[in-house]
Chains A and B, each alone.
Chain A
Amino acid sequence: MMETKKISKVDLIFEDIDPREILTRVKGMSATEIIEEVLESGLKGRGGAGFPTGMKWKFCSEEKEKDKYIVCNADEGEPGTFKDREILDRVAQKVYAGMTIAGKAVGAQTGIVYLRGEYKFLLPQLRAELEKFHKMIHELGFDFRIDFRIGSGAYICGEESALFESIEGRRGEPRNKPPYPTSSGLFGKPTSINNVETLVNSVIILKYGSEFYKKMGTQFSTGAKVFSVSGDTPKPGIYELELGMSLLEFVNEFGDGDTKAVQVGGAAGFCVPRKLFASTVIGFEGVPTGGSMKLFNSSRSMYNVLHNYLDFFNEESCGQCTPCRVGCQQLLKGVESVKRGESKSTYIDELVKLAATMKVASKCGLGQSVGNAFNSIVENFREEIIY
Chain B
Amino acid sequence: MYQTDNLIKDLVKEYGSRRDSLMPILQGIVEKHNYLTDDAMVEVAKELDISAAEVYGTASFYSFLDTEPRGKFVIRVCKTITCSMKGKHEVLETLEDMLKIKVGETTSNGIFTLLETNCMGWCHKAPAMLINDTPYTELTREKINEIIKEYMHK
Task: Kindly identify, within residues 103 to 148 of chain B, every residue whose CB is under 8 Å from any CB belonging to chain A.
Answer: 117-126, 130, 133-135
Task: Kindly identify, within residues 47 to 83 of chain B, every residue whose CB is under 8 Å from any CB belonging to chain A.
Answer: 57-58, 61-65, 79-82
The distance from the CB of A258 to the nearest CB of chain B, in whole angstroms, is: 14
A42 to B21, CA, bound (A): 38
Q: Determine the interface band of chain A, counting residues with CB < 8 A from chain B.
A: 35 or more
Q: Which residues does chain B contribute within 8 Å of A300, judged by CB atoms?
A: 85
Closest B residue by C-beta to A172:
B61
Q: How many A-B residue pairs have CB under 8 A?
A: 118
Whether B22 contacts A169 by the Cβ 8 Å rule is yes
Closest A residue by C-beta to B50:
A169
Q: Which residues does chain B contribute within 8 Å of A169, judged by CB atoms?
A: 18-23, 58
The distance from the CB of A148 to the nearest CB of chain B, in whole angstroms, is: 10
Among A65-73, A308-316, A321-329, A339-347, the stretch that binds chain B is: A308-316
Q: Which residues does chain A contribute within 8 Å of B94, judged by CB atoms?
A: none
The distance from the CB of B99 to the nearest CB of chain A, in whole angstroms, is: 21
Whether A149 contacts B124 by the Cβ 8 Å rule is no
B121 in complex: contacting residue of A85, A150, A166, CB < 8 Å: A85
Q: Is A188 engaged at the interface, CB distance under 8 Å to the other chain? A: no
Whether B121 contacts A308 by the Cβ 8 Å rule is no
A118 to B18, CA, bound (A): 25
A308 to B26, CA, bound (A): 30
Known: A152-B62, A154-B63, A294-B81. A312 touches B121 (CB 8 A): no
Closest B residue by C-beta to A305:
B81
A231 in complex: contacting residue of B19, B85, B122, CB < 8 Å: B85
Q: Is B4 engaged at the interface, CB distance under 8 Å to the other chain? A: no
Whether A82 contacts B123 by the Cβ 8 Å rule is yes
**Chain A interface (Cβ < 8 Å from any Cβ of B):** 76-82, 84-85, 116-121, 149-155, 166-173, 187, 228-232, 236-238, 263, 267, 294, 300, 304-305, 308-309, 312, 315-316, 318
Top 3 closest pairs, chain A to chain B, by CB: A169-B22, A230-B123, A152-B62
Q: Can you list 8 A-B contacts with CB-CB less than 8 angstroms, sorted by A residue number?
A: A116-B121, A118-B117, A121-B135, A154-B62, A169-B22, A170-B58, A228-B124, A294-B81
